[in-house]
Structure 1
Amino acid sequence: MTEQPLRAGERRKAADGDLLALSPLPVASGARPSDPADWIRRKNPVWMDLQGGSLVFAAELSLMFLSLCILLCLAMVYVTIAFYLHNDRFVWEPTIAAVVGSLFFTAPFGIVIYYNTNKSIKEGPPIRLNRQKREVAMPCWVGGKEVKIPFWGRDASVGIYTIYLFTSFGVIVPFLHEGPLDEFQRSFVYWSLGALFLESLIFIPYILIGLHLHKKHKPRLEYVYHPWEQLVAYVQKQQDIGPSIFTERTLLTLAVPDPDNPETAKAAASVAVGHETVGLAQWESIRRFMEEGPEACPDPRDYGTLAYYKESCRQARREKPMGAWLWKKMADWFFQRYLAHKLTEWRVNNLIPKSLPDELHEWSQPLPEDQWAGPSEALKVETRRLESLRKKNPRLAPEAMLEALYRASREGETLLA
């Protein structure tokens, strides 16, 4: 945020990079609306959600470890059968080792990715735009404090997992030895079982207490409701300069200004757009929804739906040669893409809505048409001024047109003064 209020078309040098303001008073930029950042998550005639993140990729990544578990177990079953065919006796140690290895090494990675994705969805709620009320609901987190118990956090979880891992192997490894257990091996198993029992007495209450305190002290999700025409929006090019690296990124930012502190925002969200013209196209899709309706802006990408996956499979079967199609089917199985799309649909249709507060659902209810809010007189004046400029300068790029509008608005205010 900046000290002075922004206006559409204004270019300003900020401490963290140059920016082009798009709102307050969101006039038509003239850019072609698109959703290059895949920011549009859900949409209906009343509201539209903006939320980033590739849910399909996260689902595929977590389910990939399921495929690895299956492949490892099948490989060891093959070894067991091959040994039986050559030696006329079964040796179950490879299969047992594969199952144990999958449970303790491979499966936990997939489980962690699965739950971390769900956690990210809950901690990154969507921005919701209500075109009937002409308001924007921006998420923010309030309250909360750190859980103050010894060693709580990521390091504790890794340590507990490692201790359990070694203790469990202490119980299992002696049984992989051929023949009956001797006295030392039996003692080793008993000591390992005792250690496992004592660890459980310590770790399980520790984890339960930590989770309870974490839930009790975690920040609370609230939504800030703000008039659409007063929303601050800008495209900003940021430069990060380090000792040995220089990076540049362009972000589209939406923010609810804080009237008590002009340099901060009550709530804000950004999405990477790569270039200023791309940011204008992303913004125009948002503006078109609010000003013209859901038909005027792009629909959410359907690549996360099961219907899209099935259609892509049918298309691949029609268009790809046999070798390429078989390779695709192998990749589909390895990444469990059918299940990944089912999981993504469940997250979009169930997990995301359930993670939102009830007041947002009430705010999102449709209104009778006679209660719909309309554009303000100030926005109508700016729109007429922009249309006049566009007729005089039809070849101007969208960025230049917005800058011309800002200059014309300032000149008009100067003349009136």
Structure 2
Amino acid sequence: MALFIKCQYHFKFRNDVPTRFHRQRREVAFSPGGGKPPIVVPWESVAAWFTEAQGAIQYGVQRQYALGLGFIDPETGKQHFVELQQPGRPLAMGLWESVRAYMEYEVHTREEIQDPNGLHRPEDPPYEGVHTFHHARRRLHRRHRDGEIGLFKVSMWYLWHIIDLWTIPFHLAEWEIRAIQKAGRKTLPASLEEWSQPIPKEEWAQPSEVLERLSAEVRKRHAQQPNRPITAIFAEVYAEETTLPA
């Protein structure tokens, strides 16, 4: 049954057009599906939130989390909402933060945020796969030779990956990524294909004065209170902005 459900979600990629983020244009393209043309909106007009729901079922308490995105169609004025189910609150918030950092030019390479353990090399593809497993194993042996870890940790690493079916999960991840990439190329409308192309640097859109001012205020308060949740700082600065007199 689990394999059947997985296959259903996997083959949905053959028809679904993903939401695309263009940081040079500072625009987001949403695809409503059903043969309808994509909706392109300014990046700064997109609203984001995460939801948390809890309920009791016959097997116990069930919790659900999701990242929500909302925008208004500039042509029709109609509101649209997209929700992405997530396993937990930190993952929902982290997904939004990764998109936000990418769109705000704060992250340019994968190594800046996702390579603390040397699991990615310049010649590797930009995703986790079988190469990640082999890099991790080489790093494990290097640390053991250098005396950083003992034989017990090495044994537990091997035991865990044997239980986890060795490299099979990594092969499955690569298979799904290739299927998504192949399906995306087939389903992408011609107008969106043209929109997705890079543009000259002199034509890159720039952040608004309001966003730059609010971002500077967020960084200032975060430096003053580094242990305070960044989401609380964002909410506080935004609330103060919306309550200012016109």
TM-score w.r.t. length of structure 2: 0.67
- Counterpart-to-counterpart distance in 2, 1:359 and 1:120: 22
**8 Å contact 2:66–2:84 — kept in the other structure?**
yes
Structure number with the bigger relative contact order (C-alpha 8 A, sep ≥ 6) is 1
**8 Å contact 1:139–1:267 — kept in the other structure?**
no
Counterpart for residue 215 of structure 1: none
1:280 aligns with 2:93: yes
1:290 aligns with 2:103: yes
- Counterpart-to-counterpart distance in 1, 2:71 and 2:240: 26
Kindly report the root-mean-square deviation, in angstroms, between the aligned alpha carbons of the 2 structures.
4.1
- Counterpart-to-counterpart distance in 1, 2:104 and 2:35: 32
1:405 aligns with 2:218: no
Residues 184-207 of structure 1: CA distance to partner in whole angstroms, max 9, x if unpaired?
xxxxxxxxxxxxxxxxxxxxxxxx
Relative distance call for 1:329 and 1:363 in structure 2 (3 A) is: same
Residues 48-80 of structure 1: CA distance to partner in whole angstroms, max 9, x if unpaired?
xxxxxxxxxx9xx5xxxxxxxxxxxxxxxxxxx
- Helix, strand or coil at the partner of 1:302: coil
Alignment of 1:243-392 (within 5 A): 246-258=61-73, 265-275=79-89, 277-292=90-105, 293-295=107-109, 298=114, 302-303=127-128, 305-308=129-132, 311=134, 328=162, 331=165, 340=172, 343-344=175-176, 346-390=178-222
**8 Å contact 1:233–1:253 — kept in the other structure?**
yes
Q: Which runs of 5+ in 2 are unaligned?
A: 116-124, 142-150
- Counterpart-to-counterpart distance in 1, 2:97 and 2:126: 17
Relative distance call for 1:317 and 1:408 in structure 2 (3 A) is: closer
State the one-letter code of the partner of 2:208.
Answer: S
Counterpart for residue 137 of structure 1: 29
Give 1:124 shift.
3.8
- Helix, strand or coil at the partner of 2:178: helix
1:230 aligns with 2:55: no
State the one-letter code of the partner of 2:65.
Answer: T
**8 Å contact 1:234–1:253 — kept in the other structure?**
yes
**8 Å contact 2:41–2:73 — kept in the other structure?**
no
- Counterpart-to-counterpart distance in 2, 1:313 and 1:383: 37
- Counterpart-to-counterpart distance in 2, 1:261 and 1:239: 35
**8 Å contact 1:138–1:267 — kept in the other structure?**
no
State the one-letter code of the partner of 2:32.
Answer: C
